[in-house]
Amino acid sequence: MHSVLTELAGLAYFMLPAWLANMAPPFARFWRGWNRPIHRELLGDHKTVVGFVLALAIGFLAVAAQALVQPSAFWRSPDYWPWLGLAFGLGTAGGDALKSLVKRRLHRPPGAPWIPFDQLDFVAGSLLLAAPFVRLSPWNVIAILAMTFAGDLLVNRLSFHLGIKRSPW
What is the DSSP annotation of 113-141? --TTHHHHHHHHHHHHHHGGGB---HHHH
Check residue 33 and give its pLDDT: 80
Check residue 163 and give its pLDDT: 85
Check residue 43 and give its pLDDT: 81
Give the integer Cα–Cα distance in Å for 16 and 74. Answer: 13
pTM of the model: 0.89
List, for residues 25-84, the tens digit of each pLDDT value. 888 877 788 878 888 788 877 788 999 999 999 999 999 999 999 999 999 999 999 999
Give the integer Cα–Cα distance in Å for 119 and 51. Answer: 17
Say which residues have a Cβ less than 8 Å from residue 53's Cβ, sequence separation at least 6: none
Sign of CA dihedral 101, 102, 108, 112: negative
Count of H helices and E strands in the chain? 6, 0
SS3 75: strand
List, for residues 112-161, the tens digit of each pLDDT value. 889 999 999 999 999 999 999 999 999 999 999 999 999 989 988 898 88
pLDDT of 108 above 80: yes
Question: Buried (b) or exposed (e) across 50-72, using 16+ Cβ within 10 A?
Answer: bbbbbbbebbbbbbeebbeeebb
